[in-house]
């Protein structure tokens, strides 16, 4: 009599949608990881931009503080000597003009302030 043999390899029976489901899970996880990385990158860029904005604002405030710093008080008006020979420099006018020029080059005086101070010196 013939005996029936059992097959050596049994076929694996999977539901019809199993490979599709596994692919969707893997793809969905990759998509979520990509979105998360993009969100983190965007957040980091926003933070760097905020830091750059704050640094720029602090620089602007520092520059304004330097410009708004009180300029050294102008030299008190000196009384002109009663008898000055013509041709002499009254009270070191060139020295005062040179000092004003140095202050303007250092950025302590604006060009408008320099012009006004120079006009005052030359007028009186």
Query: What contacts 96, CB < 8 A, 6 or more positions away?
Result: 75, 121
Give the mean pLDDT of the chain: 77
Element spanning 46, H or E = helix 18-68
- Residue 83, helix vs strand vs coil: coil
For residues 54-65, average pLDDT = 89
pTM value is: 0.36
pLDDT tens digits, residue range 16-55?
656 666 677 777 888 888 898 999 999 999 999 999 999 9
Query: Could you give the CA distance from residue 120 to residue 101 in angstroms, rounded to a whole number?
Result: 14
3 pLDDT above the threshold of 90:
no
Q: What tokens were used for 105?
A: 């080059």
Q: What is the pLDDT of residue 47?
A: 92
Query: Could you give the CA distance from residue 113 to residue 124 in angstroms, rounded to a whole number?
Result: 17
Rounded to a whole number, what is the largest CA-CA distance in the chain?
A: 153
């Amino acid at each position: 009599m013939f005996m029936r043999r059992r097959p050596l390899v049994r076929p694996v029976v999977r539901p019809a949608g199993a490979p599709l489901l596994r692919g969707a899970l893997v793809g969905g996880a990759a998509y979520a990881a990509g979105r998360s990385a993009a969100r983190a990158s965007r957040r980091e860029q926003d933070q760097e931009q905020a830091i750059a904005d704050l640094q720029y604002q602090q620089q602007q405030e520092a520059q304004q503080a330097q410009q708004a710093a009180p300029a050294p008080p102008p030299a008190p008006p000196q009384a002109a000597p009663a008898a000055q020979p013509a041709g002499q420099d009254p009270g070191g006018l060139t020295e005062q003009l040179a000092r004003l020029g140095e202050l303007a080059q250092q950025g302590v005086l604006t060009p408008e302030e320099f012009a006004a101070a120079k006009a005052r010196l030359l007028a009186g």
